[in-house]
Structure 1
Amino acid sequence: MHEIILGDVTITRIEEMHGPIMPADQFFPDMPEQAWKDHRGTLVPDHLGADDAMVHVAMQTWLLRSGGRTILVDTGVGNDKTRPAVAAWDHLRLDYLGNLLARAGVRPEDVDLVVNTHLHVDHVGWNTRLIDGAWVPTFPNATYLMPKADFEFWNPANNPDIAGSVNENVFEDSVAPVHTAGQVQLWEEGHTIDAHLRLEAAPGHTPGSSVVKLASGSDCALFAGDLMHTPLQVMQPDHNSCFCHDPAQARTTRRRLLGWAADANALVLPAHFSGHSALEVEHKGSGFMIKKWAPITRY
């Protein structure tokens, strides 16, 4: 099962790819080694390699049908992009659009809204595709919601020092073409999408990182973006990935939103969890624990 229904909102997982990405001690440099060992039973094989201590993640989109609209939350790495810092993502040729059609019956022109929770390389890739040598919006009829703080932070006009970083070329090939096409709507602090969905600022991982909160009937959900990259951060919420821009703020944001999810009995849908991909959390002492996984088929 790749689809779940919460209230009046239907949620479908569209995967771009999944698998090992980085050694645990590099991805989470301040995470205690013992924590990986203590929670090995929870993490292996979907989130941690059985033999090589590699963190496993997914690149995926949450497709929402809400209020009569088709909405994509994050768009993965993308095809044909020049990514010198990440060889595995350089000039990809993946059938993401085929997955979109096969899993959800959605064509690019059917998409009404694209939400980029932040503007890192692996959240904006399918914003555009290469047609006759030019980057054009993949979803021609969609409005693209982007956090203004990230748009300004990564904009080359503001002279960001990103040479050699994972976000090299990203603004130019995956953000600017959509903005030039007049399809970008920038927002700050918060933005109401419809009666069931609201964007909320969640800074730390990047200056403009955000989450989408769902409230429909008695159901709640948190589309968490990069609030976490591994389930171990539920049990160890004070430890960040190496990609968090402001570590102290990232920790504060993670604790705040995990606390909200636990109190609201909300389903948490991070951008990068493989396996069942979504989970419920609950309080445990001063931290949190996994309550249960969503009934979504494991890849």
Structure 2
Amino acid sequence: MLSTSALLAHTNDLNLIIRHVLAGLGHGIHAGRERGAGVEFSEYRAYAPGDEWRRVDWKLLARADRYYVREAERDSHVAVWLWLDATASMAEPSRSGVAGLDKLWYARTILACIAAIAQRQGDAFGLVICSGERVQFTPAARGPRQMQRVLAQLQRAQAGGTLPNSETLRASMPFVRAPSLVFAASDFLDWPSGQAEALLRLRRMRHDVRLLCLQTRAECDASFAPETTYRDPENPDGVFRFAPDTVGVYRKNRDEHFARMLAQCRSNDIPALAACIEEPLPAVLRAWLRQGGHA
């Protein structure tokens, strides 16, 4: 299994990373879509690289001298939504000697892999990015072109600012009327928050919400360099010094924070997976999918 450091060698090519991560991953996000009875023709669209040749309409090729792919719709489908926290705290880097690795890189890479699985299954998928007190929204769609749109947005995402407030998020969620799977990647250092309220609200509306809580190894085991001062990137007044007599306080506060968060997730039937960004990404992806019953 490839390590996270090996994947970082391809950090500028999400397509290449996806191929490495998904190699040998045989399952998808949910049960496969039906074929045959119940599949209704919807429309033609121009062939794009990555489309399956068996979906090409060869009779139309003979008439139009161009490749077209048949699209099908079903009476019910589940859209997949990728939810990325790109606030300033997600720029926290690994302090384990893995150059270029931070929480945002890990989050957007694992969400890109979810998008690739959704495309492979023929599902519609969209993207929500929370950054700089705003929400960037890419509507759900299917196909290779949608994949390129989503990858481009993920690649451009930069960590900055704080989470949008509840009102901004509520006004930015037009997808809540349709059944959805929501894969949200964040460090969830802000909980409760507008983001937390939005995700809990989606679950109460019977959407399938799954959280990935990302931390660095140093954050998990308080292995920061001693006598070093750290500033909260989302709160200029938040300064913490890791001295021998303060590490215990940090651990206590951290454990209590995530215990409250996970308890609220359990009470709302929201699977939440905690992972360190130094862990191999393929293993974390598999564990995240397994939480939905797809081991």
Tell me the TM-score normalised to structure 1 length: 0.31
Structure with the bigger percentage of helix: 2
Tell me the TM-score normalised to structure 2 length: 0.32
Structure with the bigger percentage of strand: 1
Q: Which one has a bigger Cα radius of gyration?
A: 2
Taking CA–CA contacts closer than 8 Å with sequence separation of 6 or more, which of the two structures ends up with the larger relative contact order? 2
